[in-house]
Amino acid sequence: MRRLWMSLVVLLVLAIPTGLAVSAAGAATKDPCKVVTTAEISKAFGGATVGKGKKGLKTAANAQCKYTVAATADLPAGDVIVVVMFAGAKPAYDGLKNAAAYAPTTGLSKSIYNERQSVVNTLKGDVLLGMQGLFTDGTLPITYKDVEAQLVRLSKAGLKRV
């Protein structure tokens, strides 16, 4: 009986570090409101005030979060939309990559930018991370300000968490 208890204790001691390793490795998030922080968004947009993320559309394939960004001297007020696609990410990325409106981004691998939609999409493993910046001056036709550099910066930060 004593041998049985000792064997169980040894197995438990061996299992604990393995379980911790799995937990740490599985720390990636599917919650788009946890991908970037308001401080990171503020820094990317020149110190602008940023509202708390609000969960948006969620489907079986993806989820989104919207942050409201106040105007600065360089940009009008706008929104940053974070989208995490966790089902069908690779085929979606491949389709977007071949679309005429997308071009490779600078400074990120497996990353493309659509200037008209003001979005950077980056593939990491089986997750597609989308960062969209909707900043317009309110005139018609609606055109978005070019915020590719800021979106790339946010994507780099976010990729650490997905």
Look up the CATH number of the domain holding residue 135: 3.40.1000
Evaluate whether residue 114 is within a structural domain.
yes
Q: List b or e across 87-118, with b for residues whose CB sees 16 or more CB atoms inside 10 angstroms.
A: eebeebbeebeeeeebeebeebebbbbbeeeb
Evaluate whether residue 35 is within a structural domain.
yes
Evaluate whether residue 93 is within a structural domain.
yes
Give the tokens for residue 103: 């071009």
Evaluate whether residue 23 is within a structural domain.
no
Helix (H, G, I), strand (E, B) or coil at 54: strand
Evaluate whether residue 21 is within a structural domain.
no
Evaluate whether residue 149 is within a structural domain.
yes
C-beta atoms surrounding 157 within 10 Å:
17
How far is it, in rounded angstroms, from Cα 90 to Cα 43? 30
Task: Please identify which residue in the block is written with the tokens 């308001």.
Answer: 38
Give the single-character DSSP code of 88: S
Helix (H, G, I), strand (E, B) or coil at 24: helix
Task: Work out how many domains the chain is built from and give that number.
Answer: 1
Evaluate whether residue 22 is within a structural domain.
no
pTM: 0.81
User: Average of pLDDT values for 16-26?
Assistant: 36
Q: How confident is the model at residue 135 (pLDDT cuts 50, 70, 90)?
A: very high
Q: What is the pLDDT of residues 74-125, one digit of tens each?
A: 999 999 999 999 999 999 999 999 999 999 998 899 999 999 999 999 999 9
Evaluate whether residue 7 is within a structural domain.
no
Domain membership of residue 121 as a residue range: 28-159
User: Average of pLDDT values for 14-40?
Assistant: 64
Comparing CA positions, the residue from 87, 121, 118, 86 lying closest to residue 104 is 121
